[in-house]
């Protein structure tokens, strides 16, 4: 069995694993994200120790990272986290650190693109070629897979920062995005809900009026994604979507907003299979990174 490394590089925690699929994880480690040298050092050690102990080599290591990241192989900053506001992490060189430290080829993508790919390999988007994975948590981010591959384009999608109609009569909240104020993330992320209600999102009851507002913003964003990207499915994950009452609310609002214009059974009839929760659970990030390594380094033939 060919083995791959996967790294979920998150702003609060790192998860590293070695294996080939959800049924074949040989080793796994999780630790908090501190400063870059210490954090990356621990991750490099994990892979090195495994290779030394088992005398196995890895075909490649996939990284799904918080961003923004530079994914353009022609750029001098390729393989780095770029302009993150996270203290100490701006222009941290991920690819080079792991290539040097483990003598293994490395492929980097955004955390959401990697999670999207993992859901396509083993989860809620199996056998689909064109779909979106959106996470609504501490931030809001989206991954896009087209023709079976993560989409980059100019940089990579930043779906959390789309602008949405915001009625200040219905919702006087200004929003908390440091760049845009009331973009999607500024209005609808977990911390935005907390800032608006003065209570942690997870402590609010299912009947709290903020969920109606939340479902409205999510539905507006999804409507825009449907109209711009025409995905075959949209997977909605992240801590906020633990409020499962949001799913039927969002589905109904998307149908109302599109108003019959997108003439597809997936939207008109079976929208409960079009807007869905993820299936990979706790390991989605790191499995996505392994999927990325497999897709990139799996020898042909």
Binding site for ligand ADP (CB under 6 A): 10, 12, 135, 137-139, 190-191, 200-202, 238-240, 242-243
170 contact choice in Zn ion, ligand ADP, none (CB below 5 to 8 Å, kind-dependent): none
Q: Which is nearer to ligand ADP, 150 or 278 (CB)?
A: 278
Q: Which is nearer to ligand ADP, 163 or 208 (CB)?
A: 208
Name the E strands within 71-214: 106-110, 131-136, 140-146, 149-150
Please select the residue that binds Zn ion; options are 161, 163, 208, 279, rule is CB under 5 A: 161
Tokens, residue 136: 């609504």
Distances (CA, A) of 65 to 33, 38, 86, 109: 12, 17, 13, 6
161 contact choice in Zn ion, ligand ADP, none (CB below 5 to 8 Å, kind-dependent): Zn ion
Q: Which is nearer to ligand ADP, 182 or 185 (CB)?
A: 185
Based on the shown chain and the rule CB under 5 A, indicate whether residue 177 belongs to the binding site for Zn ion: yes
Percent helix, strand and coil across the chain, each to the nearest 5: 40, 20, 40
**Cis amide leading into 68 (omega within 30):** yes
Q: Which residues, 6 or more positions from 285, have their beta carbon under 8 angstroms from its beta carbon?
A: 8, 10, 15, 64, 111, 114, 115, 118
Furthest C-alpha separation in the chain: 64
Q: Which is nearer to ligand ADP, 236 or 267 (CB)?
A: 236
Q: Residue 253's closest CA among 271, 239, 238, 235? A: 271
Based on the shown chain and the rule CB under 5 A, indicate whether residue 279 belongs to the binding site for Zn ion: no
Q: Which is nearer to ligand ADP, 50 or 184 (CB)?
A: 184
Assess contact for 110 and 281: CB atoms under 8 A: no
Based on the shown chain and the rule CB under 5 A, indicate whether residue 163 belongs to the binding site for Zn ion: no
137 contact choice in ligand ADP, Zn ion, none (CB below 5 to 8 Å, kind-dependent): ligand ADP
Based on the shown chain and the rule CB under 5 A, indicate whether residue 183 belongs to the binding site for Zn ion: yes
Distance CA 218, CA 212 (A): 10
Please select the residue that binds Zn ion; options are 151, 180, 208, 279, rule is CB under 5 A: 180
Based on the shown chain and the rule CB under 5 A, indicate whether residue 145 belongs to the binding site for Zn ion: no
Residue span binding Zn ion (CB under 5 A) among the ranges 3-11, 24-32, 178-186, 283-291: 178-186
Assess contact for 292 and 114: CB atoms under 8 A: yes
Residue span binding Zn ion (CB under 5 A) among the ranges 60-68, 106-114, 133-141, 179-187: 179-187
- Tell me how far, at minimum, the Cβ of 238 lies from ligand ADP, in Å: 4
- Interface residues toward Zn ion, by CB under 5 A: 161, 177, 179-180, 183
């Amino acid at each position: 069995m060919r083995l791959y490394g996967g790294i979920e590089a998150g702003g609060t925690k790192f998860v590293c694993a070695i294996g080939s699929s959800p049924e074949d994880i040989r080793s796994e480690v999780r630790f908090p994200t501190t400063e870059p040298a210490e954090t990356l050092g621990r991750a490099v050690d994990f892979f090195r120790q495994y290779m030394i102990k088992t005398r196995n080599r890895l075909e490649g290591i996939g990284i799904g990272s918080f961003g923004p990241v530079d994914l353009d192989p022609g750029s001098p900053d390729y393989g780095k986290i770029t302009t993150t506001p996270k203290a100490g992490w701006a222009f941290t060189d991920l690819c080079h650190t792991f290539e040097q430290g483990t003598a293994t080829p490395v492929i980097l993508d955004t955390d959401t693109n990697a999670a999207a790919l993992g859901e396509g390999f083993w989860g809620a988007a199996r056998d689909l070629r064109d779909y979106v994975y959106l996470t609504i948590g501490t931030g809001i981010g989206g991954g896009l897979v087209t023709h079976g591959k993560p989409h980059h384009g100019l940089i990579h999608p930043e779906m959390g920062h789309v602008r949405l109609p915001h009625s200040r009569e219905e919702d006087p909240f200004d929003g908390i995005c440091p760049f845009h104020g009331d973009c999607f993330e500024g209005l609808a992320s977990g911390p935005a809900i907390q800032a608006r209600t003065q209570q942690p999102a997870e402590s609010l009851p299912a009947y709290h009026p903020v969920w109606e507002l939340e479902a409205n913003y999510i539905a507006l964003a999804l409507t825009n994604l449907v109209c711009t990207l025409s995905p075959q499915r949209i997977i909605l994950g992240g801590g906020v979507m633990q409020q499962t009452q949001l799913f039927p609310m969002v589905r109904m609002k998307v149908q109302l907003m599109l108003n019959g214009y997108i003439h597809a059974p997936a939207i008109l009839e079976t929208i409960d299979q079009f807007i869905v929760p993820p299936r990979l659970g706790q390991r989605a990030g790191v499995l996505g990174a392994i999927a990325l390594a497999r897709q990139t380094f799996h020898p042909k033939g």
